[in-house]
Amino acid sequence: MAKPRTKKRTHVGAKNPKDKAPLPGRSTAAVQDPKSMVIRIGAGEVGSSVSQLAKDVRMVMEPGTASRLKERRANRLRDYVTMTGPLGVTHLLLFSRSESGNTNLRIATTPRGPTLHFRVEKYSLCKDVRRAQRHPKGGGKEYMTSPLLIMNNITTPNSDANSKVPRHLETLTTTVFQSLFPRINPQTTPLKSIRRVLLLNREPASDGDDGSFVLNFRHYAITTKPAGMSKPLRRLNAAEKLLNTKNTRKGGVPNLGKLQDISEYLIGGENGEGYMTDGATSGSEMDTDAEVEVLESAPRKVLSAKTRAAMAENGDDGAGEGDEKLERRRVTLTELGPRMKLRMTKVEEGLCAGKTMWHEHIHKSRQEVQELERRWERRKQEKEARRKEQKANVERKKKEKPAKGGKGEGEEDEDSDVDMDGNNSDLFDEMMEQDEFDSEGLAGDAEEAVHEGMDEDEWEDEETEIANSRS
């Protein structure tokens, strides 16, 4: 009789359980690592280059991103926001193309914002970066861990609340980019786990405080080599480690079959008549700026009880065996791509909606700002009134069901399903509202214009034409 098949789970479990205790000084929500979704808004209109750029940015955000996300032409922003709660997504990176052909990037924090609007002025794909390199790198284990974020010149020392780029905007930008990746503890994080670097460098203003906020986006891979060793010696060291492993591949072992002595290989040159320095004995001054000291712990040998007792009698405690060794290694960076030049154009308070906190080209007076504050306060009151009315209608319909002999309390009704995703329905109403200015100061982006609904007058004209055609 055949053995019955045993089902096995094929999916990977969550790495951050919700019952994990939070760190001291942090809330429960901060336990989970940040997760992001890189999305193309208007998947059919952005073009092949922007689509490839979105895939490259997903590689940068690995492993905490949806790398196999498939967008559809019919998907709206509301569809993605609905799934951020159940999936635990904390950030949305939205690529789109405006009516004038400019590529835009929006970085939104879920579920309530804020949203940073950038215009992608220049970009280079990963394949373009690799094509320009002599020895490109990538495709290994670099993407198994999150990159190390390095920000330079984001905050200027002379900025304040009255500057064209205010100080609170610089602080907000720093906080948003820091929240994209999990935090690391320098004392406990192993150095081998840091394999990539994401560099954000803010370009200085060309004409003093001109109100521009431009970031250069670079992505590098980290490689380390032993310092003070020549290339042949490094190859011999690597070959020794390879021979001591169970790996059958011997491609890393140097071929010494045509040489008479090992010194010919180490000295180099034709027929061994050359000279090769090891970097430590040369007369020139060494460049030690890119060298770091790493503690390498050697494996300890497990001793038996008799051996430990004999060593104790002889006064040898074995402290010198297996101690941590200090090793100097040279750090090199290899660019992985993509490259982007991002110009910030607008900052919104909500998730792709809400009050405009800062705009690059449009500046309002104090009276206009106060008028906008009153308008937003009036909208908030109207929204609260609609919410109360909606809740009252739901309660009234629930009370009318038993009297009319309708569905029971355990059954669901379409009218009572107000918040399908657990979020407030007014959040989506706020998202779908057209703001006063978009990332370019136009009436709206391309995706908003494509999905824009007809006005009532246009529908009346359509109904008239249909009636005339039927008659």
Kindly state whether residue 380 falls inside one of the protein's structural domains. yes
Task: Please tell me the distance from the alpha carbon of residue 64 to that of residue 87, in angstroms, as a whole number.
Answer: 12
C-alpha distances in Å from residue 392, one per residue of 309, 403, 406, 423, 430 = 81, 18, 19, 18, 21
Kindly state whether residue 199 falls inside one of the protein's structural domains. no
Give pLDDT, residue 249: 61
- For the chain, what is the domain count? 1
Kindly state whether residue 436 falls inside one of the protein's structural domains. yes
Kindly state whether residue 280 falls inside one of the protein's structural domains. no
User: Per residue in 153-183, pLDDT tens?
Assistant: 998 888 888 888 889 999 999 999 999 999 8
Give pLDDT, residue 413: 47
Count Cβ atoms below 10 Å from residue 95 Cβ, excluding itself. 21
φ, ψ at 335 (rounded to 5°)? -70, 135
Task: Please tell me the distance from the alpha carbon of residue 76 to that of residue 72, in angstroms, as a whole number.
Answer: 9
User: Per residue in 336-393, pLDDT tens?
Assistant: 989 999 999 999 988 988 888 888 888 777 777 778 888 878 888 888 899 899 999 9
All residues at 6 or more sequence positions from 101 whose CB lies less than 8 Å from its CB, including other chains: none
Contact assessment for residue 213 and residue 342, using Cβ atoms and an 8 Å cutoff: no
User: What DSSP assignment string belongs to 412-449?
Assistant: --TTT---SSSS-HHHHHHHHSPPS--TTSSS--HHHH
Containing 126, the helix (H) or strand (E) segment is helix 126-131
Kindly state whether residue 267 falls inside one of the protein's structural domains. no
Residue type, 212: S
Kindly state whether residue 251 falls inside one of the protein's structural domains. no
Kindly state whether residue 36 falls inside one of the protein's structural domains. yes
Task: Please tell me the distance from the alpha carbon of residue 89 to that of residue 79, in angstroms, as a whole number.
Answer: 13
Low-confidence ranges of the chain (pLDDT < 50): 14, 16-30, 272, 279-286, 321-322, 408-410, 412-425, 428, 432-456, 459
All residues at 6 or more sequence positions from 310 whose CB lies less than 8 Å from its CB, including other chains: none
All residues at 6 or more sequence positions from 445 whose CB lies less than 8 Å from its CB, including other chains: 41, 96, 98, 99, 104, 438, 439
Task: Please tell me the distance from the alpha carbon of residue 173 to that of residue 155, in angstroms, as a whole number.
Answer: 9
Closest CA to 232 of 222, 224, 223, 240: 240
Range of the domain at 124: 32-188+338-407+416-449
Q: For 88, left (φ over 0), alpha (ψ -120 to 50), or beta? A: left
Count Cβ atoms below 10 Å from residue 91 Cβ, excluding itself. 22
Give pLDDT, residue 436: 39
- Count H helices and E strands in the chain, helices first: 11, 11
Kindly state whether residue 422 falls inside one of the protein's structural domains. yes
Containing 233, the helix (H) or strand (E) segment is helix 231-243
